[in-house]
Structure 1
Amino acid sequence: MQILVVGLGSMGKRRIRSLMKLGFKNIIGFDPRSDRRSESEKLYKISTVSTIKEAIQKKLYCMIISTPPDSHYKYASIAIKNNIHFFTEVNLSSYDVKKIIVQLNKKSIIGLPSNTLLHHPLIKKLKILLKQNQIGNTLTVYHHFGHYLPNWHPWEDYREFYASKKKTGAAREIIPFELVWLTYLFSKIKSVYGSIHKVSNLKTNINDLYQIIIEFSNGIQCIMVIDVISDPAFSQTKIIGQKGVILCDHNEGTIKIGKSSKWKTIQIKSGEVAKGYKGNTPSESLYVDEMNQFMVAIKQKKQPRYTFNDELKILKILDAIELSDKRSRKINL
């Protein structure tokens, strides 16, 4: 049984590294680009194919779909049709995910979407601290993620890859990543008010600034800002409670707890970031954990905590944010 990695760009190569770290060697790569196939063959000593038809003819155990988001559904539907377990990177289309759910419900295979940041030790620690009521009841949250788009893939022209396309724009893509762990920490979301703009001179037509007011179902208020114009990059969260404050720097791996004018700092280790990346890139260990979760789910024939149904809820929030911006009013979910 072989593992097929669909798409041999940045994420595809990362998934290959994760699988190899877990001890899997029976990996095949597929990408229509010959340069990417050659690079993966050289780096990882794997075999590659140039068409998905050729790949499907192999005896496949599962499929890792690491293409740009707007083609995830294409390959997910191929996997479902051929009864192949599959994993996709973060999706951006609620319409596509709805179709995946409908098709997947008719099958006994495992299909899962990415939930990388739920594996972050810093997020896990925040969950523990909040459960311990370290700062009392949470009242309001401020989160700001900023990462200059040309630094996402420093080795290539930012105008040439999917993050510069309107539907799969960089700032838009970050929204689901952040909402996954924010809803995990606090609660479901009751309403959103979105303000979306292009404010930079980046040579692309994507919106590069998302400003969102969020109301969680338990009453917690949140302001989230996502931009792809900040250089240097940063990702910081401030949680204000009745008895104190938590300041979190995701890149530095620090959590500061402030109570009665005194601060306590907790350093969180999450591993090394892959060579060549800048800014807000998660460490490789998170992706290894995520791949292990998928493989265990297949082996145990059991869906883990985050499924396509969960991702659909997140994408409906993204839809609501964009509708709010369009209508210039709050949208209830």
Structure 2
Amino acid sequence: MIQRILVVGLGSIGQRHLRLARELFPLADIRVLRHQPCLSMPEFADGCFSDLQEAVGFEPQVAVIANPAPYHLISAQALAGIGTHLLIEKPLSISTEGVPHLMQTCLEQGACLQVGYNLRFLPSLQRFRALLNEYEIGRLLSVRCEVGQFLPGWRPDADYRQGVSARRELGGGALLELSHELDYLSWIFGDVESVKATLSRQSDMQIDVEDTVHLIMSFVPDAEGHRLIAAANIDFIRHDTTRVCTAIGEQGSLRWNGLTGMVEKFEAGGGQWQEVFHHQHQRDDSYLAEWKHFLECIRERKSPLIGGKDGLAVLQIVDAARRSSESGKSVSVARDGI
């Protein structure tokens, strides 16, 4: 039975995980670790640490790592060393450095390591993937994906310039902050073999990170030698918040809308899009499903849907994209540690 839970970081996502943890474990001793002194007790928490070693001494059975990405591995490695099961918010880190070591520690300690790419738990995305695997539109020819939201509008009650997304030293930038797309594209279409990328700051926002990313991703060829290509546009600049993925096949197109939870099909020779699935999710739904899966993996000692290898794979794509943008050339994606 899980009796001790630690939440590392108390930003908006840390607060969400703290609330969900309390909902799932009303009688557990739940404490938080934050870099600032605890002047008052956070809602839903039983205690608060400002020192990592004190938090490790608490010996949590489960920990959620929800502090800024550059600090994920510091907390995670210390906790993995005592066998704490880890749910690490995305991205797993800001680079691949140190990730294989964490994965090895978790393996040796028998600790579950799950990465928080919670979009995989959306019924609409799961249905989109299943239909493609069932050849609903025949052999796939191309993929177009886009996600964007105006950064100052993410949290209107806060100064966007001070948020994690806007600051390089905190792991911000569109590529890392919106890396869900890199994860689910790999989950649905397979391993990414190479990337051609452009990272840029197109707006006048007061940030020191890229606000726009254009990616051309080549996937590992299938058994027949066919190589699928995906184009992904990721940004902080568009006012019409968007999260859409369209797969183009020999027998039509299939489109997933991550905001409405709708999957639509356009048949070859048809005249319009037809709805084939619709599930409008609530904000907590995928996080709660993520938690329940995490706990099931701990209880049944099985590998999570999104493990350390998946988090590492995203960071390898990120690394290749950065190098491609700097060089202006297509860059192969490293597969070390996977």
Matched AA of 1:31: R
Corresponding position of 1:117? 119
Aligned length: 320
Q: Return the alpha-carbon distance in structure 1 between the equivalents of residues 23 and 259 of structure 2.
A: 23
Helix, strand or coil: the match of 1:153?
coil
Corresponding position of 1:279? none
Q: Deviations over 1:68-118 (max 9, x none)?
A: 101001101110233322221112321131231233343222222222111
Corresponding position of 2:22? 20
Alpha-carbon spacing, 1:266–1:22, altered in 2? closer, same or farther (3 Å):
farther
Q: Return the alpha-carbon distance in structure 2 between the equivalents of residues 287 and 220 of structure 1.
A: 31
Helix, strand or coil: the match of 2:61?
strand
Q: Return the alpha-carbon distance in structure 2 between the equivalents of residues 103 and 238 of structure 1.
A: 39
Unpaired segments ≥5 residues, structure 2: 222-226, 334-338
* % same residue: 23
Corresponding position of 1:139? 141
Helix, strand or coil: the match of 1:247?
strand
Q: Return the alpha-carbon distance in structure 1 between the equivalents of residues 59 and 326 of structure 2.
A: 47
Unpaired segments ≥5 residues, structure 1: 273-282
Helix, strand or coil: the match of 1:145?
strand
Q: Deviations over 1:23-51 (max 9, x none)?
A: 4441222223357x74732xx36433333
Helix, strand or coil: the match of 2:292?
helix
Matched AA of 2:260: E
Moved more, 295-304 or 201-210: 295-304
Corresponding position of 1:321? 321
Helix, strand or coil: the match of 2:251?
coil
Q: Return the alpha-carbon distance in structure 2 between the equivalents of residues 62 and 190 of structure 1.
A: 34
Report the TM-score when normalising by structure 1: 0.89
Corresponding position of 2:194? 191
Measure how far apart 1:267 and its partner are: 4.6
Q: Is 1:222–2:230 an aligned residue pair?
A: yes
Q: Is 1:309–2:303 an aligned residue pair?
A: no
Corresponding position of 1:30? 33
Matched AA of 2:19: R
Of 164, 170, 175, which aligns to 2:173? 170
Helix, strand or coil: the match of 1:143?
strand
Measure how far apart 1:16 and its partner are: 1.7
Corresponding position of 1:271? 281
Corresponding position of 1:93? 95
8 Å CA contact retained: 1:120, 1:270: no
Q: Is 1:152–2:154 an aligned residue pair?
A: yes
8 Å CA contact retained: 2:41, 2:48: no
Q: Return the alpha-carbon distance in structure 1 between the equivalents of residues 42 and 17 of structure 2.
A: 11
Measure how far apart 1:188 and its partner are: 1.2
Helix, strand or coil: the match of 2:196?
strand
Corresponding position of 1:130? 132
Q: Return the alpha-carbon distance in structure 1 between the equivalents of residues 66 and 7 of structure 2.
A: 7
Helix, strand or coil: the match of 2:214?
strand
Q: Is 1:261–2:264 an aligned residue pair?
A: no
Corresponding position of 1:241? 249
8 Å CA contact retained: 1:30, 1:50: yes
Moved more, 157-166 or 134-143: 157-166
Helix, strand or coil: the match of 2:291?
helix
Q: Return the alpha-carbon distance in structure 2 between the equivalents of residues 210 and 143 of structure 1.
A: 12
Helix, strand or coil: the match of 1:94?
coil
Q: Return the alpha-carbon distance in structure 1 between the equivalents of residues 318 and 190 of structure 2.
A: 16
Measure how far apart 1:4 and its partner are: 0.7
8 Å CA contact retained: 2:112, 2:304: no
Q: Is 1:202–2:205 an aligned residue pair?
A: yes
8 Å CA contact retained: 1:144, 1:237: yes
Corresponding position of 2:336? none
Report the TM-score when normalising by structure 2: 0.88
8 Å CA contact retained: 1:198, 1:209: yes
Alpha-carbon spacing, 1:51–1:155, altered in 2? closer, same or farther (3 Å):
farther
Matched AA of 1:147: Q
Measure how far apart 1:175 and its partner are: 4.8
8 Å CA contact retained: 1:320, 1:331: yes
RMSD of aligned Cα (Å) = 2.0
